[in-house]
Amino acid sequence: MERKHDHKKIIAQTHVHEFLGSVMNPKEDVEPHNHRFAGISSEEIPVNGGHVHEILTDIDFYEGHLHELGVRTGLQIPVGNNRHVHFAEGTTTFNANHTHNYQFATLIDDPIGE
């Protein structure tokens, strides 16, 4: 199958971060369980003090249900060598009579760049 490409010129691209993790057990009175998630953040969003990223993803399916995770990260956190990560925390969408809390740090930006 031949693939057709839209050859729009990209004027500027910022950076993204990989992320992965597991949610915490639900607080509600349901069977203890967790879900996993992974993905790529949005490009940077300039804000006072630096920049943030947005993340929106489904988390993995467990016993007939799943949740969405949507969050805007905190500001960049320097980790040396001109690299940084971002912290994110929040609560998933409500499904199957419960939610899950989560907290995680993104992976570093441009891990093999100079």
Tens digits of residue pLDDT in 50-95: 999 999 999 998 888 999 999 999 999 999 888 999 999 999 999 9
Cβ–Cβ under 8 Å, residues 107 and 79: no
Flag whether pLDDT at 25 surpasses 50: yes
Return the percentage of the chain with pLDDT > 70, whole number: 89
pLDDT at 75: 98
Enumerate residues 6+ apart whose C-beta is below 8 A from 23.
34, 35, 36, 37, 59, 67, 69, 92, 100, 101, 102
Q: Residue 1's pLDDT band (boundaries 50, 70, 90)?
A: very low
pLDDT at 3: 46
